[in-house]
Structure 1
Amino acid sequence: MVTTRGRQRTGKPLPQPDLDEIEVEQVLRALGEPVRLRIVRNLAAAEQPMACSAFHLGVSKSTSTHHFRLLRESGIIAQHEQGTSRYSELRSDELEDRFPGLLAAILAAPPKRPASE
């Protein structure tokens, strides 16, 4: 069972690193890509885990899967499968324990403006 934000999730959890295995370099590298940062911003605003299909990322399904996998393997999100859906949730409390203030600072930064502005 996946436990994040103090809640238990049913379904099959996908592999993720333990808290002490998460490295700041991996987190920063993962969040340096605009699509992944957008995923994290959406999850931070969500009240509950989100189905991967709820994100409208404008990329192919395989590219979307790649981004979610990289976020999970970097320790930023937890995922679990329930039926035919895969749900994602930000590991905000755990990341705060590991790197105090890091995620909050990243999420507080203004989003990058499109190049046309």
Structure 2
Amino acid sequence: MCIAILSPLEVVVGIVVLALVGLGLRRAGVYGWLALGALLVTCAVTNPDKGKHAAAVKDKMAAAEPSAMGRIAVDMMGGMIEPLLEHHNFIALSTTTVNGRLLSVGFLNQVIVVADPGDRTRKH
């Protein structure tokens, strides 16, 4: 992982989250800070990449298809999903958006799709 590829917003959000957790652990002493450091290193090492987010979105889209033919079409077109996603790496967690809309959140090598990828009814 290279910090140079992070946007300024991502770095600021990461620092703010770290500061808030640090304030919560200030009374825990050295062991609290060691636990926080171990947790952050674990989260950073297991942060899912853009490909894992794209696979989770594709799986959710395939599961939402009522017909077998629709699921096959989603599987065949799955490679076209990744270029549409904007991946945001916050070191301890990552998100993907499409046109500014949050689609998935990933941490500890898991990706949670928080929006219905096929839902186009939301107004921007």
- What TM-score range do you get, normalising by the shorter chain? under 0.3
Instruction: Tell me which of the two structures has the higher relative contact order, counting C-alpha pairs closer than 8 angstroms and 6 or more residues apart.
Output: 1
The structure number with the bigger radius of gyration is 2
Q: Structure 1 length as normaliser, TM-score?
A: 0.24
Q: Structure 2 length as normaliser, TM-score?
A: 0.23
Q: Which has the higher helix share?
A: 2
